[in-house]
Amino acid sequence: MVSLIVSGITAFPIAFEMDVANYLISKSFINGAMKEWLLIVTEGVKSTYLKYPFMAYGTDWLAFAHIVIAISFIGPLKDPVKNIWVIQFGMMACVLIFPLALIAGEIRSIPFFWRLIDCSFGIIGIIPLYICYRYIKQIVPQYEPFSTQKNNFCQE
C-alpha cells in the first residue's frame, strides 16, 4: 500500500523530478543510453508542459489511481480471507505490466532497457502479494470463494 501511494504521489511533480534526476546523473558515473534517454524525456516533459500544461492533468489522474488502488488493499488487512480477491487482482496487475511495457513500449519507441525497468515493478510488486496470498491460503486451507455450503438464511 505504501509503495502504491508513494509511486502515485511521485506522478505529480514529474518536471521537477526530471530536473533532479538529470542533476544527479550529471554528478554520477552514469553515461550512455540511460543519460541520453533521461535528457530526451526531460525535454519532452518540459516542452509539453510549457506549450500544453493541461497534459500534466493526465499524470495527476495516474497519481490518483495509484492512491485509490492502494486504498482497496485495506480490505485484505481487515478480512484477508474474504478479500483475497484484492490480492489476486494485484498479482494479475503485476503480471499485466509485462505485455503493456513490452508491447506499448515498442509502439511508443520506449528504449528496451527502460521497458525492462518498467517490468521490474511487476516483479517487485508480485513478491509481497504472493507472500500475502500464501499466508491467506494458510489461514483457511480449504478456502473456496463460492462455497456450496448453505447459509442459515437459505434453508429449504
Per-residue burial over 1-25, b = 16 or more CB atoms within 10 Å of its CB, e = otherwise: eeebeebbeebeebeeebeebbeee
- Chain center to CA of 123: 11
Q: How many helices (H) and strands (E) does the chain have?
A: 8, 0
Which 8-state DSSP code applies to residue 29?
Answer: S
0.85 exceeded by pTM: no
Nearest alpha-carbon partner for 141 in 81, 78, 74? 81
- Chain center to CA of 154: 41
pLDDT tens digits along 36-91: 898 899 999 999 999 999 999 999 999 999 999 999 999 999 999 999 999 999 99
pLDDT tens digits along 19-38: 898 888 888 777 788 888 98
